[in-house]
Amino acid sequence: MGNPYEANYGYEKSSREQTCHCGAVFHVSVPGQKGHEEPEEYYCPECHCEYKARASMSPTVTLISGRTDGKTGSC
């Protein structure tokens, strides 16, 4: 059908492993859709620190390993 970046349907724009300042490691899947991308927030699943990505909707976050900073509070 052609390049998904040229079509007007959703796709996985990027997928990565990210480490938060609290030490938690999580997987981030960023959805994309041509013409429908804006800054979208996503949060560390452990300390709730906010991050942003340009996406068509909020990125999906999956915890890989918990925080290592010894704290229990939010970001």
- pLDDT bucket at 75, cuts 50 / 70 / 90: confident
Cα separation of 30 and 49, whole Å?
Answer: 17
The reported pLDDT for the residue numbered 1 is 42
- CB 26, CB 64: distance < 8 Å: yes
The reported pLDDT for the residue numbered 43 is 98
- CB 47, CB 71: distance < 8 Å: yes
Q: Each residue of 2-48: pLDDT tens digit?
A: 454 545 678 888 999 999 999 999 999 999 998 888 999 999 999 99
The reported pLDDT for the residue numbered 35 is 84
Cα separation of 59 and 2, whole Å?
Answer: 25
Helix (H, G, I), strand (E, B) or coil at 7: coil
Find where tokens 């990125």 sit.
59
Instruction: Record the tokens describing residue 64, joined without a space.
Output: 């890989």
